[in-house]
Structure 1
Amino acid sequence: MSVALLLTGALTAACGGDGGGGADGGDEKIRLTVGTFNDFGYKELYKQYMRDNPNIEIVEHVAEYQTHHTQLATRLAAGNGAPDVVAIEGDFLGQFTAQPQNFHNLLELGAGDLEDRWLPWKWKQSMAGDKVQIGMGTDVGGLAICYRRDLFEKAGLPTDRAEVAGLWPDWKSYIEVGKEFTAAKTGAKFVDSGPLLFNAILGQADAAFYAPDNSLVLESNPAVKQSFDLTSEAVEAGLSANLAAFSPQWNTGFQRGSFATLTCPAWMMAFIQSQAPKTEGQWDVAAVPGGGGGNWGGSWLTVPKQSDHPEEAYKLAAWLTAPEQALTVFKNIGNLPAIPELYKDPAMADLKKPFFNNAPVGQIFTEAATRLQPQYQGPKAAAVRLALQNGIKRVEEGREEPGEAWDKALSDAEKAAQ
């Protein structure tokens, strides 16, 4: 997800991603704050940008995912406190495209000249109407399955990534493999989390929670109930380790080998490596069930109206999301660029990861990205998703049967959307 703010002349070259940002002129030291969540892989890029632009000082503020977006909403409503450049993730994007008055219209600043840089749908998603663009894309999630080769071998399952992918042409088959794995009694669960499995299954549908007119389609869209039911089947069969994503217990689960598979967007690779460095070579990556598409995550950079330095903020954001920098981020931490010209670049397409048994991750994730069919995300998509995930958690914890959990989740989601 990216931010746009355009100058003229030298700025155009910087936005094109041909290297450094160029001199801004003048002696004034300008401090730019950047608000992100998790790890966007920008730390070394900031250093490069400040070397090339000595009058710019960059300070990054990193918060937990939910906290980051809640704080942004609060600061926008208060009229102060927002960073100069701020990241927004896809589930929250609709909430902020609904308030374009709080962001610089990047089209007015020249970002329209950069439109062809991104996947067409990525550009369109951050449009607020036909004439207002609030962001520039940083990445797309893409989707694969990361799996533990050692645990698959222990369960008597194939370990070769092509054979593994062949086991699950669809999600029903994936769950059946999970039942076979569970019957082998390896001491590990098959999946890490029911809610994350639900996300992946639903992520391949044409639509999720909202129609393009922002009407809620939870009951009229059969894909939502089908995804909930399939996930509930997996949970009731004992496949889930019931570990909440990004919790300390989930993090420890990577180290202990508590689960054999997880739905794995490109950015997850860096997370696995950081949480369980001693498991190098035990992991591998296979195509996701359901034809290789799907998405989890992906963000934009935006420039709030509160910024005292919108032109400089835009210049930085445009440079961070340019092809050269996006490729660097992919190599370093795995965030998959939303820039299709890179997908045929050998530096990306041929990239392999030794940690993941030398898996050809460049090929796997770029293929996933080209098959990706984006869903429209309405204004309360994050809150609606959380209500449904909480329903899955109640099934995991044995507090509700799937039917009861669905009815309550549906009611909670409709309230959350109001």
Structure 2
Amino acid sequence: MTPRFRLLAVPLILALATACGSSTPAETAAKPNEKIKLTVGLFGDFGFKPLYDEYKKTHPNVEIVENVTQFNDHHNNLVKRLATNAGAADIEAVEVGYVSTFTALPGKFHDLKQYGLDKRQGDYLDWKWQQGLSKDGQQVLGLGTDVGGLAMCYRKDLFKKAGLPTDRTEVAALWPTWDAYIDTGKKFAGANLDGTKFVDSPGEIFRAMVNQAPAGLYDDQDKIIVDSNPDVKKAWDLSNQLSQNNLTAKLAAFSPPWNTGFAKGSFATIICPAWMTGFIQEQAAGSSGKWDIAAVPGGSGNSGGSHLMLPKMGKHPKEAAELIDFLTSKDSQAKVFKEEGTFPSIPALYDDPSIQSFTKPFFGDAPIGKIYSDAAKALKPQHLGPKEADVRTAIGNGLGRVEQGKQTPDQAWTQVLQDVAKIK
């Protein structure tokens, strides 16, 4: 699942240079019926627990323990553990913003081809499979769990109070473009609803806009192009319009106030990759029927998605690889989608009747399966660079400074370019 890549205003560890060497596997051959403990390092709830129970029915000798930490802590800790060759879980989840950072270190991870998992290539979206390969394309370092095809979640009750349409088709027609989305926000703001803004914050809006462009923060030669890509600057300018027009609730994604903002109705719209639906349902449990889902401005796009990787320091890589295979299988991805909302990275599921017809009462029986299947089919993936997450953090910090009134957009952009130039 990718519940959890964010443009947070939090400094991230940039130093993986010390972790570029190979590590010696601590592999121990398991004896027949030997009790084996496998640890799985995650950031948030991936919906795996029912799958563990199912897996252990056929693997009674395997104990599975989850280690769950916050998004930034998880990835930063993995950086440190790879650098010291100690402390990583048997299986580590890596979010798409970081995957190219870790696949650039093939000496730190097992090649899943050693365990026959190259057989899975035909299951995946081609670009999703490529994301899990080493930079030279020779090693399979991670298998995908999900993709984050985009939609827009919105509060029907708040739209009604603001005099806006509530039907998802009519809502989508309000914002065919991001300019139209901002205009809709201004109309919403004109209703002066107490305690409610149009959107949570500008960070994920920026990310969605950039993800819809032909190229994002890097070119295909791994050069950062923030300063030269006009689509990045356009997304910056439009996102800051949300702040300048007082349309944001100033709630940083995945902060405690943001979490409670769902239940309090602090914002009426939010960028909504498939995994976000599960998070909304968890945080706004008392708001069933108030939320709905419409198409995102500008068509499609991707926000998030993860891979499961196998650090070399694990003691039982063969058994861990078998668990990765199970957790990312077609059946497992379908089950996790229906329970948690994370959308499969296996395209054979997109036309599966059980996916196409899937709805959720919490979202007014919105056709979630069809919405996200259509979004996934329309995805046009971008090349991701080795410090993707760090670049996005620098930009997110700049958006936050504008939102908080600490800098003008031009001042913040100048600092963003200076900060990005330091990322090597």
> TM-score band, normalised by the shorter chain?
over 0.9
Given that residues 107 and 131 in structure 1 are in contact (C-alpha distance below 8 angstroms), is that contact kept between their aligned partners in structure 2? Answer: no
Alignment of 1:149 with 2:156, yes or no, is yes
Q: How far did residue 108 of structure 1 move?
A: 2.9
- Counterpart of 1:314? 321
- Counterpart of 2:26? none
Q: How far did residue 130 of structure 1 move?
A: 2.0
After superposing on structure 2, the runs of 4+ consecutive aligned residues of structure 1 that deviate more than 2 Å are none
Query: What TM-score do you get using the length of structure 2 for normalisation?
Result: 0.91
Alignment of 1:63-78 (within 5 A): 63-78=69-84
- Counterpart of 1:169? 176
Aligned Cα RMSD in Å? 1.2
Q: How far did residue 25 of structure 1 move?
A: 7.8
- Counterpart of 1:92? 98
Per-residue Cα deviation, 1:261-305 (whole angstroms, up to 9, x for no partner): 0000101111111111110000000010102x1111100001111
Q: How far did residue 250 of structure 1 move?
A: 0.3
Alignment of 1:200 with 2:223, yes or no, is no
- Counterpart of 1:186? 193
- State how far apart, in whole Å, the 2-side matches of 1:300 and 1:107 are: 15
Partner AA of 1:318 in structure 2: D
- State how far apart, in whole Å, the 2-side matches of 1:363 and 1:109 are: 35
**Structure 1, unpaired ranges of 5+:** 3-23
Q: How far did residue 110 of structure 1 move?
A: 1.6
Partner AA of 2:312 in structure 1: K
- State how far apart, in whole Å, the 2-side matches of 1:200 and 1:284 are: 19
- Counterpart of 2:275? 267
Alignment of 1:287 with 2:295, yes or no, is yes
Alignment of 1:209 with 2:217, yes or no, is yes
SS of the residue corresponding to residue 274 of structure 1 reads helix
**Structure 2, unpaired ranges of 5+:** 3-29
- Which of 79, 82, 90 is residue 88 of structure 2 equivalent to? 82
SS of the residue corresponding to residue 114 of structure 2 reads coil
- Which of 114, 123, 142 is residue 108 of structure 1 equivalent to? 114
- State how far apart, in whole Å, the 1-side matches of 2:220 and 2:404 are: 35
Given that residues 31 and 57 in structure 1 are in contact (C-alpha distance below 8 angstroms), is that contact kept between their aligned partners in structure 2? Answer: yes
- Counterpart of 1:123? 129
Alignment of 1:35 with 2:15, yes or no, is no
- Counterpart of 2:24? none
Query: What TM-score do you get using the length of structure 1 for normalisation?
Result: 0.93
- Counterpart of 2:17? none
Alignment of 1:358 with 2:340, yes or no, is no
Partner AA of 2:210 in structure 1: L
Per-residue Cα deviation, 1:141-172 (whole angstroms, up to 9, x for no partner): 11100000000000100000000001111111
- Counterpart of 2:51? 45
Partner AA of 1:256 in structure 2: K
- Counterpart of 1:324? 331
Q: Count matched residues.
A: 395
Per-residue Cα deviation, 1:386-417 (whole angstroms, up to 9, x for no partner): 100111111100111111111111111221x2
Partner AA of 2:262 in structure 1: F
Partner AA of 1:189 in structure 2: K
Partner AA of 2:46 in structure 1: F
Q: How far did residue 97 of structure 1 move?
A: 1.0
Per-residue Cα deviation, 1:72-95 (whole angstroms, up to 9, x for no partner): 111111011111111000001111
